[in-house]
Structure formats: structure tokens, C-alpha cells
Homo-oligomer: A and B are copies of this chain.
Amino acid sequence: MSRTVLMLPGDGIGPEIVAEAEKVLNRVNEKFSLDLHFESALVGGAAIDETDSPLPDETLSKAEKADAIVLGAVGGPKWDSLPMAKRPEKGLLGLRSNLELFANLRPAILYPQLASASSLKPEVVSGLDIMIVRELTGGIYFGQPRGVRNLEHGERQGYNTYAYTESEIRRIGRVAFETAQQRGKKLCSVDKANVLEVTVMWREIMEDLKREYPDVELSHMYVDNAAMQLVRAPKQFDVIVTGNMFGDILSDEAAMLTGSIGMLPSASLNSQKQGMYEPCHGSAPDIAGKGIANPLATILSAAMMLRYSLEEEEAALAIEAAVSEVLDQGLRTADIMSEGATRVSTREMGDAVLNAL
């Protein structure tokens, strides 16, 4: 069964890291006879420069047809002064929303080989393994109305709308409960139900779903407390589920607890398990083109793709084992470098993973 994977390099370090992921995917494609076909397209700032749109029609139509997508990253100072509707980020948000990629899975895992990279004490983070399930196509990211209006007395007011329907909450809730079932069976739903009506409803629906998943222990936490608890004692968490905006903040905070955000992949899935896979880190324009970026988060995103969208668990495991092996070998890109290790470039890291495969 032939399947198509769309590669979207994007901006900044995107092209460099996606190139390494493609090398790795080509290798497992052969080795495991996966019959994957690769296409590529423009998105974000790169697409703006060529076509004046962050999400050209051609890219969207290729994305809709693909079985899965690997994305590098979008954005950079070059496009920062563009109006909201023309920014690189709209390319990413447009893909998420057009493909209905509502379920964003963001693991925060501490690799034992990289424990010293964390700014937290070893005993606080060793063995850390959290999965954040973030709602990705609703909430304040997409709520209407939004904009800037002139008030009667002459001044302007900026406004956005944080909204969720019951069915939007229910479908992300199910993904979270199912994820918890496959892991430690503990789910913490994060909201601000003491202030925001929309999250009161969120909490109610999570409580409601609980009855369908009696083996999962559900708890609730206010977002401010969750931001604290992640710093204080992150290992108390197994799976966290939350809305788009809180998920943006908490998943980045959780990722940084590991000290090695250059290692963390993510998956964004729709209900047909079609998915977009990208590193948690951004486009890092300051180091773009220098060949020093860490390609492992993107390579691990490709592994997640094999697992979730293409159901090629064996190939996924092979990539993950290869990444673990290069870490064991002491190979490190600049971002995760530590004393006694061997510093390698983006390409050398990709080659090392190939060799380990």
C-alpha cells in the first residue's frame, strides 16, 4: 500500500532539520519496504516570499491528499511586521484548521543521557515522562469575533474570543482519556474554572467522560497551579489535557523542564489519524543556515508519524533506538552539548542516526 508523506521545511532551521529527517525516512522506507512516497511544498515565510501567501492553495491541496506531513518550523523576524492574516504562522494555523488536526500530542521526556541539560535538580526530573494533549483547532486561537475596533469615545479596543463547543471538548477529551489508558492511567485536566465560563463547561464535560473510562483517574487543576506544579514536582503528572492557549504555554514549559527541547517531537492528528508532525522547538532564525541545529526532534517526529499515522511501529521503534544509540555514543549538537561529549553538526547527527539504523 503506497502512502504519501508531505515534507514542509518552512523557515529558519526548518530546511536543514527536515533534510535530515527525510534522509532517515528514506532509509527506513527501503529497509522496512514501507512504500512511502515523498512530496514537498512551501509554507510560512518561505511561501510568502514565493507566492505572497503563507499557505498557497497548492500546499493545502497536497496536504489534504497526503497520508502524513512532516513540518520543520515557520516564522522569523523577516516577516514579523506583516499584518496578522499574512504572517507565516497563518500557514501553520491554516493547516491545523483545514485538516482539522485537533489533537496535539506533546511529550516531555527526559533522555537519561541528557539529564544534566535540565535547569532542574536531577532528582526532580530524572525519569520525567509527561504527555500533554493540547486541543489545537479551537479556543482563542480560532474564536470569532476578533480584531481591533474603535469605541464610541474614540479609543481602540483589541479583542479575541475564547470559545469551545461541547463536541470540541468531548473529542479532545476522548483522545486524552485513551492516551492515559495506554500510559499511566492518570489524567489531569487543566482549566481556569474559577474565572472562565468556557472552562467551567470544559470541566463538566471531562467529568462526564470519566464515566466511560473508569480505569483512568481524572483530576482537575487550575492553569496557574499547573504552571507551578510543573516546576515544583513535574513527575506527579502522567497525561495533561487542556485547551489551545493553555496547552501552548504549558507544553513549552514542560518541554523546557528537560533542558533539551531540541529533542522533543510532536504530533497533530485528526479523527482519521492523518497527522502533521513537527519538532516542539521553533524556527530559530538566529542559527539558521549554520548547520548547527539539532535534527533529532524532527527525526523523532518522523518516528511518531510512522507510529500514529502510518501504523509502522517497527520502523518507528527502529528510529527511536537509533537516536538513543547516537546519544549513547556521546554525539551532541550544540544545544545539548556537555563536557566530554563529541560535538557534531546537523548533518553529522543525521548521518549518525542513519548509521545506527
Contacts and interface: CB of A to CB of B under 8 A. Distances in A.
A233 B250 CA distance: 17
A223 B249 contact: yes
A75 to B, nearest CB: 7
Contacts of A75: 194
A89 interface: yes
B202 A231 contact: no
Given A84-B200, A143-B159, A158-B200, 13 more contacts: A89-B195, A119-B231, A146-B196, A147-B197, A151-B165, A155-B165, A155-B167, A158-B164, A158-B198, A162-B162, A223-B249, A225-B252, A227-B256
Q: Which secondary structure characterizes the binding site on chain A?
A: helix
A201 B147 CA distance: 10
Given A159-B161, A165-B156, A165-B157, A119 B228 contact: no
A196 B227 contact: no
Given A160-B162, A162-B140, A231 B231 contact: yes
A256 B157 CA distance: 33
Size category of the A interface is 35 or more
A171 interface: no
A93 B197 CA distance: 15
A240 B297 CA distance: 30
Interface of A: 75, 84, 87, 89, 93, 119-121, 124, 140-141, 143, 146-148, 151, 155-167, 192, 194-202, 223-225, 227-233, 245-246, 248-253, 255-257, 259, 261, 282
Contact of A158 (B141, B157, B197): B197
Given A164-B157, A232-B256, A233-B119, A148 B224 contact: no
B158 A245 contact: no
B158 A161 contact: no
Contacts of A200: 84, 148, 158
A259 B248 CA distance: 24
